Amino acid sequence: MHQSDHEAWNAKNYPGTRQLCADCGEPTGRCEDDSIYADDDREIGPLCEKCRELRINPMKVIFLDVDGVLSSGGAEGLCGTRLDLFAKVIREAPARVVLSSLWRHPHCTEQRMLLQRELRRRGVELHSKTPIGPKGRANEIRAWLAQQEPGSIADFVVLDDDPSEELAGLKDHLVICTSHDGLTEDIARQLIARLNRT
């Protein structure tokens, strides 16, 4: 039976027995007979398709700062060479991009749209952005990580040009460039090596 037929069959024959995903809590659209798990022992689950995919293939994430990394300052400063390098990192890691730059704020919508366009031209999508909180960048990154489904993040790096004290708590994940040079070939290699370690 196809999954869609199975769903219809379940809805007709087992109304009210809607199986919920153990990770995200959403209905899986499945019943006991066709439940899916992330492991052979059927301990991690039952799961929905999306959560199983994340369990089997957890994400690598780069938290991206833009000014001093991809831009030498503002939208006009976005650098083609750095964007090309960044796209290469994302492809080779491969990783998802989570924006943690000032550019995610509502007053930077135009800059963000431009960044999005430039990345998309290079085959890279922005996956998400960190929440905007009162307690600084490191806490916003932690808050974003805490919102993810268990087991869905394989590893992450924080790419920044500002080795501030508040980021020190994430030092095992920090890759720092200088605000003068931004993302260089050397830093790109470091990022790829770092994300392929796991």
Residues whose CB falls within 8 Å of the CB of residue 37, separated by 6 or more in sequence, listed in order: 43, 44, 45, 46, 47, 52
Q: Which stretch binds Zn ion (CB under 5 A): 47-55, 99-107, 122-130, 152-160?
A: 47-55
Please pick, from the candidates 31, 38, 44, 51, the single residue that binds Zn ion as defined by CB under 5 A.
Answer: 51
Q: Which stretch binds Zn ion (CB under 5 A): 48-56, 61-69, 88-96, 185-193?
A: 48-56
Q: For residue 48, state whether it binds Zn ion (rule: CB under 5 A).
A: yes
**17: phi then psi, degrees, rounded to nearest 5:** -100, 65
Q: Which is nearer to Zn ion, 21 or 192 (CB)?
A: 21
Of 18-37, binders to Zn ion (CB under 5 A) are 21, 23-24
Identify residue 191 by its one-letter amino acid code.
Answer: L
Count of residues that bind Zn ion according to CB under 5 A: 5
Residue ranges binding Zn ion (CB under 5 A) = 21, 23-24, 48, 51
